[in-house]
Amino acid sequence: MLSYQRGDTRAFESLYHRHKDSLFVFVYRSCARQAVAEEIAQETWMAVVDAAERYSPDARFKTWLFQIARNRSADYWRRRDNQHTPLEDGPDAPELAANSPTIDQEVLTSQLSQAIAQLPEEQRTALLLQMQGFSIDDIASISDCGKETVKSRLRYARDQLQQRMGEGL
């Protein structure tokens, strides 16, 4: 990022290829819609480009990148003004893989995606960030809250998922 700050565009390309997929997965799981995920991912990377001159390496670049993505996702959910998606506007159906072992697994994946999408925004973000490999400290930094708060959110999120998945099953 510091190289890009000095005008090296190749450095940005390298940085982008390193983090683009993990970011897109995080955004997609947050909103569960391809088009929205693309929009949020694009906004996130553009914000990185625009803030490149002001960037200071206070924290890991990945933490900073996901902090921007999380804020953009929060803006998206605020715009929707409803954390619970209606049935007709539900998440994209999971793509059926050619070598999918069973139909039950696909159903399970779809139910899990719906269950995550129905979580409160803070709990969902904490859960998805943990799934991306971030530590409690990083999640606290990205979510701009304390570590205990993160732990509490993660506990509530797992409880709700277990409850909904159990009901579904």
Partner 1 sequence: MTDRQADSDLDLPNKKSPAHLDQKILGYARDHAPERKPFMQPLWMKSMAAVSVVGIAVLLVYPRQLADQSAPAHMEEVVVTAHKVEAPAAARSTGQLADVEAERSSYLSDSTEEAMAAGSLKRGNSEIRAIAAEASNNAEPPSQAQLSMGAARPDVDMAQRTRSQPETTPSTAKAAPPAPTEMMEIASLGTSAATLPERSNEKVEPSTYTEETVRQSLQEIKAMQEDGDTKGAEQAWQILLKQCHNCDLPETLDKALKKYLTPAAESLE
Looking at the Cβ atoms of 78 and 131, the one nearer to partner 1 is 131
Task: Tell the smallest beta-carbon distance from residue 163 to partner 1 (Å).
Answer: 15
Helices marked H in the chain — which ranges? 2-5, 9-31, 34-50, 61-80, 103-117, 121-131, 136-143, 147-168
Taking the complex as a whole, how short is the minimal distance between the CB of residue 99 and partner 1, in angstroms? 14
| Least distance from partner 1 to the Cβ atom of residue 42, Å | 6
Q: Select 30 or 141, whichever has its Cβ closest to partner 1.
A: 30
Binding site for partner 1 (CB under 8 A): 4-9, 12-13, 16, 20-21, 23-25, 28-29, 34, 37-38, 41-42, 45-46, 49-50, 52-53, 94-95, 105, 108-109, 112-113, 116, 127, 130-131, 133, 154, 158
| Phi and psi based region of residue 69 (left: phi greater than 0; alpha: psi -120 to 50; beta: remaining) | alpha
Taking the complex as a whole, how short is the minimal distance between the CB of residue 12 and partner 1, in angstroms? 5
Q: 112 with 165: CB under 8 angstroms? A: yes
Name the residue nearer to partner 1 (CB basis): 81 or 98.
Answer: 98
Of 78 and 135, CB closest to partner 1: 135
> d(Cα 29, Cα 69) in Å, to the nearest integer?
12
DSSP designation for 97: P
Cα within 13 Å of Cα(88), Cβ side: 0
Which CB atom, from 52 or from 145, has the smaller least distance to partner 1? 52
Phi/psi region, residue 138 (left: phi>0; alpha: psi -120 to 50; beta: rest), is: alpha
At closest approach, how far in Å is the CB of 139 from partner 1? 11
